[in-house]
Amino acid sequence: MITRRIGAAAFTLVLAAGLAACGSDDGGGDDGAGGGAGGESIKVGIKFDQPGLGLKEGNTYTGFDVDVANYVAKELGKTDVQFVQAPSKQREDLIATGQVDLIFATYSITDERKQKVSFAGPYFIAGQDLLVATDSTIKGPKDLDGKKLCSVTGSTSADNVKKEVPGVNLQEFDTYSKCAEAVSKGQLDALTTDDTILAGYAAQDQYKGTLKVVGAPFSEERYGVGLKKGDTALCEDVNKALTKMVEDGAWDKAVEANFGPAGFKVDAKTNPPKLDACS
C-alpha cells in the first residue's frame, strides 16, 4: 500500500517536472491560446542562429525572416512582437500547441507538413546550393563525385543531396556552423543547404574571403509562413500583408539589406514569389 502510494507520488512528480519543462518558455505574459487577429501581442517563431535570416544577438533580432515577420505583424495590427526560438524539429509542435502564432524560419512548404500546419506565402524562394572555399573548382552538384560534403543530420538538404549524388561522401553534423568551420579549414570540400543560409555564412566576418556560394541552385525551397492548421482567415491576412510588402518596395529593401552584403543574387525569375491560395 505504502509502496504504491510512494509510486503514485513519484509518478505525478515526474509528470509535473516533465510538463514544467515543456510548457514554460521565456515568452512570459499571456499563455498559449493565441492566433487570429485582435490582440496586441503576437508570438513569432524564428531561427536564432542563422545569420542573414534569423539571428539573435543580445536582445536584438536581425535577418530577412525577422524583417518580413515585423512587417506582417504590423499589418496585422500587432504592436508587440515576441520572438520565440523555433528549431527545425519543433516547428510543427510549436504551432499545434499554440506556443507561437506564426513561424518565419526558413520553413519550406511541403505536402507532408501541410498535414499538420497551414502555410501562408511563400514569401521567398530559395534553392539548395553549395558553399565552398574561394579557390575551389566545384561548380555544382555534378562536381561532387568523390568530394567530401557536409550538411546537417536529418535535414532536407542532406536528404536531397543523397538523392542527387548517391555516391557522395557526406559528413553530417548537428549544426551548419560546424560544417562551415570544417570547410573553411579545408577538411571538407563543400557545405550544402539553402543558398540564403549559405550567403549568411559567407558574409560572416570570420569567413569573408575564404568561403563563397557557388550560385547554381539545384532545388526549390519555398519559404512559407507557418500557422495553425485551417486558420484561413489568418492566412489570408498574412498573404495580404505579404502582397503589400512586395508592392510598396519593403520586400526589396529587406532583401537588399540582408542578402546584399553577402553578394547573394536573388533569383529574379522566381522572386518575389507568387502566393499560394489559402486552404
Q: Is the CB of 70 or the CB of 108 nearer to another protein?
A: 108
**Pick 87 or 263: Cβ nearer another protein:** 87
Site string for another protein, 127-166 (x = CB under 8 A): -------------------x-x----xxxx-xx-------
Nearer to another protein, 9 or 96 (CB): 96
Q: Which is nearer to another protein, 174 or 248 (CB)?
A: 174
Nearer to another protein, 22 or 233 (CB): 22
DSSP 264: P
> Shortest approach of another protein to residue 143 CB, angstroms?
15
Query: Nearer to another protein by C-beta: 41 or 177?
Result: 177
**Separation between Cα atoms, residue 188 and residue 211, nearest integer Å:** 12
* Min dist. Cβ of residue 127 to another protein (A): 18
Question: Binding string to another protein for residues 60 to 89, with x set by CB under 8 A, is what?
Answer: ----------------------------xx
| Contact status: 170 vs another protein (CB under 8 A) | yes
Give ∠ CA 171-173-179 in degrees, rounded to 5: 80
Answer yes or no whether residue 115 interacts with another protein by CB under 8 A: yes
Site map (CB under 8 A) of another protein, residues 171-210, x = contact: xxxx---x--xx--x-x-----------------------
DSSP 108: B
DSSP code per residue over 24-47: --TT-SS-S---SS--SEEEEEE-
How many Cα atoms sit within 13 Å of 198 on the Cβ side?
A: 32
d(CA 72, CA 245): 8
Size of the site for another protein (CB under 8 A): 30
218 binds another protein (CB under 8 A): no
The grid coordinates listed for 67 are 524583417
Extract the C-alpha cell encoding 249.
Answer: 518596395
Binding of another protein at residue 267 (CB under 8 A)?
Answer: no
Q: Which distant-in-sequence residues (6+ apart) come within 8 Å of 250 by Cβ?
A: 71
Least distance in angstroms from the C-beta of 114 to another protein: 8
CA torsion sign for 251, 253, 257, 260 is: positive
DSSP 8-state code for residue 152: E
Q: Interaction with another protein in 89-108: which residues (CB under 8 A)?
A: 89, 91-93
CA distances (Å), origin 275, targets 31, 53, 242, 267, 278:
31, 20, 9, 16, 9
Contact 100/86 with Cβ under 8 angstroms?
yes
Question: What is the contact surface with another protein in residues (CB under 8 A)?
Answer: 88-89, 91-93, 112-113, 115-117, 146, 148, 153-156, 158-159, 167, 169-174, 178, 181-182, 185, 187
